[in-house]
Amino acid sequence: MPDNLAPWLAIAGLGAFHGINPAMGWLFAVALGLNRRSRGIVWSSLVPIALGHAMSVLAVVELFLIFGGFVSARQLEVAGGLMLIGWAAYHVCYGHRSRVRVGMTTGFAGLCLWSFLLATSHGAGLMLIPFVSSICFPEPFAPDLDRSNSWASGLRVISVHTGAMLLVTATTAALVYEVVGLAFIRRAWLNLDLLWAICLAGAGILLFL
Amino acid sequence: MVTLTPDPSFYPSPRMAQKAPPEQLAYVASFDPERQKPDALAVVDVDPKSPTYSQIVGQTEMPNLGDELHHFGWNACSSCLCPNAPHPHTERRYLVVPGLRSSRLYILDTKGSERQPKLVKAIEPEEIAEKADYSRIHTIHCGPEGIYANALADAEGNAPGGIMLLDHETFEVRGQWEIDRGPQQLAYDFWWHLGHDTMITSEWGLPETFENGLVPEVLLGSGYGRHLHFWDLHTRKHQQTIDFGKEHQLVFELRPAHDPTKAYGFVGCVISLKDLSSSIWTWYRDGDKWAVKKTIEIPAEPADPDQLPPVLQGFKAVAPLVTDIDLSMDDRFLYVSCWGTGDMIQYEVSDPMAPKETGRVRIGGIVNRATHPKAGKLSLNGGPQMVEISRDGRRVYFTNSLYGAVDPQFYPDGIDGWMVKLDVGENGGIAFDESFFIEWPDGRRPHQVRLQGGDCSSDSYCYP
């Protein structure tokens, strides 16, 4: 068990937050199952959805870690903070406007791509940066930090995050497909866009401070 | 215009949408054929319990002359709940109203002003020409990538016509929809199968062949549209053309099945050069291609040439002129407007390859001039044209004008606008609501009808 539990809880919590969001996967899995009248499709769709999400988060976190090997902790924090605030601004202005590339006839590769693009534009990986930063580059900042160690930590971050996301996505998809029915999204689909933009900007500002 | 929970008028599936509460208001595009006064969007009370039932209770005039308001639509609808491109917290609130003749687009806000929609934005033809190189805006649909508007011509009035995209929140023109249009040149209507990632477009003609009326030589030379085009909805590339053959002219309104698992739909062909008949074709999936089959043929009716307009006298027959069709939300009944003969026909289309007639009423018509119980006069002109169905399928509304320049070719003594309503039996059958007849005021003519909260040609769905 890591010494510092808080960032790990946050990393898992963010995964669960994505998992429960209808826009990030479970609803697509349910829709494909309903359209193709197949329970199996609901379950098999979860694999590319989780994979796409993991690849997006992996790319961002590893880029951050590579970058982190070359600059000071302060520079890293400022860069991460700017990215987060920029992403929040993009979300507020253009979040509603997206080129749709993947439709209802899609397969494994299409779902994987969809999930990758969605997680990337959502800023799922960026949002992990403050926590990755505290896990991989603990204070006081050590310039001779073992890079392989931090990369392994990065992989652990992605596993925990995506695992939590997949668990919640699968549970929600199964509940909606098997028990609750689709009508409930008419009321239960809460608008978390603004909250998410605030989280992104807030995390960015925290990195700055 | 952002909400905490989805707009209550969005339904995941057509099955759920059928249970929507009955509409209380209808919006009707009305235009002045003389282009002397502004066109208007009229608001009609369709709540039978209201003291002003069957009356125009509000009206918004446009700020210009000669727009010829056409097939308008909503900024957002049930497709906002699609899982691949959700916009669940956008409100169904704005009507996007195109001017077919002016190439202008009006944005009207209905929130808090349901009976008197407020004009909040006009997109001028210059902006559309610059950003999308299109003109003659015809039909609006809300869909996965925002608002889709189609145009019958490019900015100079030539081919190709096509589709453009508008931002559904800012109403900014985002540009042409097509990435590869293949052989497509003409445009008329468009809609899609969300469950099959397929866009379908149909064909009329270029402005020079309709803005001063239909040109008989072009028609007899089979120069108007006769193709269906199938596209990949997401790569935006043309995939397939189906030619209806030289005999068939004017392939118009597209009504795909609402159930996203079904890969079929219906399209009306206005006229056959062989015998003046109209026809309905069913398109369907055949292996990895699309195919069509003529499933309904409506014959012309012999008539005394003295009773016919010049354009039909030589044929001694009145053409049915099927100019609009509409499919009920449960994909069970197809309504077919015969603008020439004056019939509104209901077909049972549960088997889309074998429609069966289940109801028919007659009103107006080139020869028949049939009246309505509440009309208070012996004869009516114009015929069943733009038709709209309530989401529960129990009420059908229609108006009687086709297009300003074409109306006098078939109704030379003019068209006095009217709007009527049919009641639908639980298992089919249609009859006039004898208390619903609206004589259209101010010399304007009514065209497209949209029902508050959505109707059978406004929303598309991603879930069965």
ipTM score assigned to the predicted complex: 0.94
Which residue in A27, A34, A100 is closest to B464 by CB distance? A34
Are B84 and A102 inside 8 Å of each other by CB?
yes
Angle at the Cα of B35 from the Cα atoms of B106 and B173, rounded to 5 degrees: 20
Which residue in A28, A185, A194 is closest to B84 by CB distance? A28
Residue A189, min C-alpha distance to chain B (Å): 6
Which residue in A27, A96, A183 is closest to B83 by CB distance? A27
Taking the C-alpha atoms of residue B210 and residue B44, their distance in angstroms, rounded to an integer, is 30
Q: Does A94 touch chain B (CB under 8 A)?
A: no
The answer on pLDDT for A92 being more than 50 is yes
B5-15 in b/e form (b: 16+ CB < 10 A) is ebbebbbbbbb
Residue of chain A with shortest Cα separation from B147: A97
Predicted pLDDT of residue A3? 59
Are A193 and B89 inside 8 Å of each other by CB?
yes
- Residue A195, helix vs strand vs coil: helix
- Give pTM, 2 decimals: 0.96
Tokens of residue B415, six digits: 């068209």
Q: Phi and psi of B409, rounded to 5°?
A: -70, -30
Residue A98, min C-alpha distance to chain B (Å): 7
Q: Is B217 exposed, middle or buried (0-12, 13-18, 19+ CB in 10 A)?
A: exposed
Show Cβ contacts of residue B291 under 8 Å, excluding neighbours closer than 6 positions. B242, B283, B284, B285
Residue B157, min C-alpha distance to chain A (Å): 29
The 10 Å Cβ neighbour count of residue B156 is 10
Cis peptide before B160 (omega within 30 of 0): yes
For residue A32, give the nearest of B24, B196, B243 by alpha carbon: B196
Tokens of residue A6, six digits: 């808080």
Predicted pLDDT of residue B140? 98
Q: Which helix (H) or strand (E) holds B230?
A: strand B227-232
Residue A164, min C-alpha distance to chain B (Å): 21
Give the residue extent of every domain in chain B. 14-451
Predicted pLDDT of residue A195? 87
Name residues 9-38 of chain A within 8 A of B (Cβ). Answer: 22-23, 27-28, 30-31, 34-35, 37
CB contacts, 8 Å: A27 with chain B: 83, 86
Are A188 and B5 inside 8 Å of each other by CB?
yes
CB contacts, 8 Å: B462 with chain A: 31, 35, 104
Per-residue pLDDT of chain B (464 residues; tens, 9 = 90+): 578 999 999 999 999 999 999 999 999 999 999 999 999 999 999 999 999 999 999 999 999 999 999 999 999 999 999 999 999 999 999 999 999 999 999 999 999 999 999 999 999 999 999 999 999 999 999 999 999 999 999 999 999 999 999 999 999 999 999 999 999 999 999 999 999 999 999 999 999 999 999 999 999 999 999 999 999 999 999 999 999 999 999 999 999 999 999 999 999 999 999 999 999 999 999 999 999 999 999 999 999 999 999 999 999 999 999 999 999 999 999 999 999 999 999 999 999 999 999 999 999 999 999 999 999 888 999 999 999 999 999 999 999 999 999 999 999 999 999 999 999 999 999 999 999 999 999 999 999 999 999 999 999 999 99
Give the rounded percent of residues in chain A with a pLDDT score beyond 90: 65
| Per-residue DSSP letter, A126 | G
CB contacts, 8 Å: B81 with chain A: 185, 189
Mean pLDDT of chain A: 90
Q: Is the dihedral of CA A120, A125, A127, A129 positive or negative?
A: negative
Residue A176, min C-alpha distance to chain B (Å): 13
CB contacts, 8 Å: B90 with chain A: 96
| Per-residue DSSP letter, A179 | I
Which range among A30-34, A74-78, A97-101 has the greatest average pLDDT?
A30-34
For residue A150, give the nearest of A130, A135, A128 by alpha carbon: A135
Name residues 257-316 of chain B within 8 A of A (Cβ). Answer: 260-261
Could you list the beta-strand ranges (E) of B32-181.
40-45, 56-61, 73-74, 94-98, 105-109, 118-123, 134-143, 146-154, 162-166, 173-176
Residue of chain A with shortest Cα separation from B6: A186
Q: Does B234 touch chain A (CB under 8 A)?
A: yes
Residue of chain A with shortest Cα separation from B196: A105
Are B85 and A98 inside 8 Å of each other by CB?
yes
For the CA atoms of chain B, what is the radius of gyration? 20
Length of chain A: 209
Are B4 and A190 inside 8 Å of each other by CB?
yes
Predicted pLDDT of residue A146? 57
Q: Does B463 touch chain A (CB under 8 A)?
A: yes
B293-303 in b/e form (b: 16+ CB < 10 A) is eebbebebbeb
Q: Does B4 touch chain A (CB under 8 A)?
A: yes
Taking the C-alpha atoms of residue A74 and residue A68, their distance in angstroms, rounded to an integer, is 10
Give the rounded percent of residues in chain A with a pLDDT score beyond 70: 93
Could you list the beta-strand ranges (E) of B275-380.
278-286, 289-298, 301-302, 317-318, 322-327, 333-338, 343-348, 356-362
Taking the C-alpha atoms of residue B254 and residue B229, their distance in angstroms, rounded to an integer, is 11
Predicted pLDDT of residue A145? 52
For the packed helices A73-94 and A193-208, what is the interaxial angle rounded to 10 degrees?
Answer: 160
Q: Sorting pLDDT into bands at 50, 70 and 90, what band is A4?
A: confident
Which residue of A35, A118, A177 is the best one to mutate when testing the B interface, meaning the one whose CB has the most B CBs within 10 A? A35
Name residues 133-162 of chain B within 8 A of A (Cβ). Answer: 144-146
The answer on pLDDT for A160 being more than 70 is yes
**Interface size, chain A vs chain B, as Cβ–Cβ contacts under 8 Å:** 99
Tokens of residue B220, six digits: 């007899």
Predicted pLDDT of residue A1? 43
Q: Does B363 touch chain A (CB under 8 A)?
A: no
Q: Does B215 touch chain A (CB under 8 A)?
A: no
Length of chain B: 464
Residue type, B59: Q
Q: Does B425 touch chain A (CB under 8 A)?
A: no
Under 8 Å between Cβ of B161 and B136? yes
Are A186 and B10 inside 8 Å of each other by CB?
yes
Show Cβ contacts of residue B415 under 8 Å, excluding neighbours closer than 6 positions. B33, B381, B382, B400, B401, B407, B445
Residue B214, min C-alpha distance to chain A (Å): 38
Under 8 Å between Cβ of B100 and B404? no
Torsion of CA A23, A26, A32, A35, to 10 degrees: -90
Under 8 Å between Cβ of B450 and B388? yes
Angle at the Cα of B461 from the Cα atoms of B198 and B282, rounded to 5 degrees: 50
Q: Looking at the DSSP assignment, which residues form a beta bridge with residue B230?
A: B200, B240
Which residue in A35, A37, A186 is closest to B6 by CB distance? A186
Residue A174, min C-alpha distance to chain B (Å): 16
Report CA-CA distances (Å) from A39 to B16, B261, B454: 21, 16, 31
Predicted pLDDT of residue A142? 52
Residue type, B33: P
CB contacts, 8 Å: A31 with chain B: 82-83, 462-463
The 10 Å Cβ neighbour count of residue A187 is 10
Which residue in B169, B234, B463 is closest to A103 by CB distance? B234
For the packed helices A73-94 and A39-68, what is the interaxial angle rounded to 10 degrees?
Answer: 140
CB contacts, 8 Å: A41 with chain B: none
Which residue of B84, B92, B165, B285 is the best one to mutate when testing the A interface, meaning the one whose CB has the most A CBs within 10 A? B84
| Per-residue DSSP letter, B48 | T
Which strands make up the sheet holding B289-298, listed edge to edge?
B248-256, B264-272, B278-286, B289-298
Residue A25, min C-alpha distance to chain B (Å): 8
Question: What's the whole-number mean pLDDT along residues A175-203?
Answer: 92
Residue of chain B with shortest Cα separation from A92: B2
Q: Does B233 touch chain A (CB under 8 A)?
A: yes
Under 8 Å between Cβ of B354 and B339? no
- Domain B14-451 listed as CATH 3.40.640.10: no
